[in-house]
Structure 1
Amino acid sequence: MIDFCAIDFETATFERHSACELGICIVQNSQIVETKTWLIKPPSFPYFSQHNIDIHGITPQDVKDAPTFDEIWYEVEEMMYGTLMIAHNASFDAGVLRSCLNYYGMFTPKLNYLCSIQLAKKSWNYLPRYGLKHLAEYHRIEFKHHRAGDDAEACARISLLAFEKLFLTNNEEITDYMKLKIKKL
């Protein structure tokens, strides 16, 4: 059976450590068991880039009473512990995670991650586009785009469909098949 966590970050500014929302979708035994979202007060608070607000709709008012990243990290890390991390455009989300940990002087866990875009390209190599929105539409997955919990869950659903299409049934098979695409945090 397959175990992984799908994650998604939204940011307040162009700076990678400016996470303002984090979503995690936990998959155990090839089933989604939990999706959790945290609003986060970024270091730039109360400043948010208007460009970023236009993308995700999260404003400084929404996060004024939210915890900072370092206040939620231990709960997040426990949910992710020992599992493969998957994100859509994973270099962005892994970069945000790394930058937040660095900003707060926190230990970076040993974590392998995989980009669901790479996975989708191996699974459906005939599609014209591989954005989360396009893949979700193709698979009739409804979600609120650019909200972290919804994006993480859509990523998890797409990844599960990709594993099924590729006949991958456990984490070892995923590691063998995708070994050149799996990166270390």
Structure 2
Amino acid sequence: MLDFCAIDFETATHERNSACEMGICLVENGEIVETKTWLIKPPSFPYFNRHNVAVHGITAEDVLYAPTFDEIWYEAEEMLYGNLMIAHNAGFDAGVLRGCLDYYGLFKPKIKYLCSIQLAKKSWKGLHSYGLKNLANQHQIEFNHHRAGDDAEVCAKLSMLAFDQLMLTRNEEVADVMKNSLKLL
């Protein structure tokens, strides 16, 4: 059966270590079992770039009493452990995860990750846009865009639809069909 987790980050600045929100959606046996969202106080606190705030709406006031990344990592790592990680525009999210782990001197786990844009392009050829919002609209999935938990959950739902489209039912099949798209954190 398909087991994976979808992850999404929102950032306070252009710095890769500036996660201000992280969402993880855990999928076991092809079913969503949990979606968790953490607000995070970034190293840049109290500075938030106005362009970033314009995208996600998260401000310094929202994270005033939030934990730092290193304080929530143990819980997030437990959800990620042993799972394929999927993100929409995965290069960005993997870069933020790497940036946060490096900033706090935390061990980088060996996680294989896949970009759901690549998965969508393989599943639904010829779309004019493979953006998360467009794909969600195409599949009648409503969500609060640019909030990490919502984006992670939509990424998971779209990935499951794509796996169905490609008739993939096991992680081994995903690894075989998407081998050129799989990367290591």
| TM bracket, shorter-chain basis | over 0.9
How far residue 5 of structure 1 moved from its aligned partner, in angstroms, is 0.2
In the alignment, residue 158 of structure 1 is paired with which amino acid? L
Give the structure 2 partner of residue 20 of structure 1. 20
In the alignment, residue 136 of structure 1 is paired with which amino acid? A
Give the structure 2 partner of residue 69 of structure 1. 69
- In the alignment, structure 1 residue 92 sits paired with structure 2 residue 88: no
In the alignment, residue 134 of structure 2 is paired with which amino acid? H
Identity over aligned pairs, percent: 72
In the alignment, residue 88 of structure 1 is paired with which amino acid? H
Give the structure 2 partner of residue 140 of structure 1. 140
In the alignment, residue 134 of structure 1 is paired with which amino acid? N
- In the alignment, structure 1 residue 42 sits paired with structure 2 residue 11: no
Counterpart-to-counterpart distance in 2, 1:71 and 1:46: 18
- Runs of 4+ in structure 1 displaced over 2 angstroms? none
* SS of equivalent residue, structure 2 residue 119: helix
TM-score normalised according to structure 2 size: 1.00
Give the structure 2 partner of residue 121 of structure 1. 121
CA root-mean-square deviation: 0.3
* SS of equivalent residue, structure 1 residue 136: helix
Counterpart-to-counterpart distance in 1, 2:110 and 2:184: 7
TM-score normalised according to structure 1 size: 1.00
1:99-178 correspondence runs (5 A): 99-178=99-178
* SS of equivalent residue, structure 2 residue 5: strand
How far residue 126 of structure 1 moved from its aligned partner, in angstroms, is 2.0
Counterpart-to-counterpart distance in 2, 1:78 and 1:120: 27
In the alignment, residue 106 of structure 1 is paired with which amino acid? L
- Can you give the 5+ residue segments of structure 2 that lack an aligned partner in the other structure? none
| Partner deviation per Cα, 1:39-61 (whole Å, 9 max, x = no partner) | 00000000000000000000000
- Can you give the 5+ residue segments of structure 1 that lack an aligned partner in the other structure? none
Q: How many residues are treated as equivalent by the alignment?
A: 185
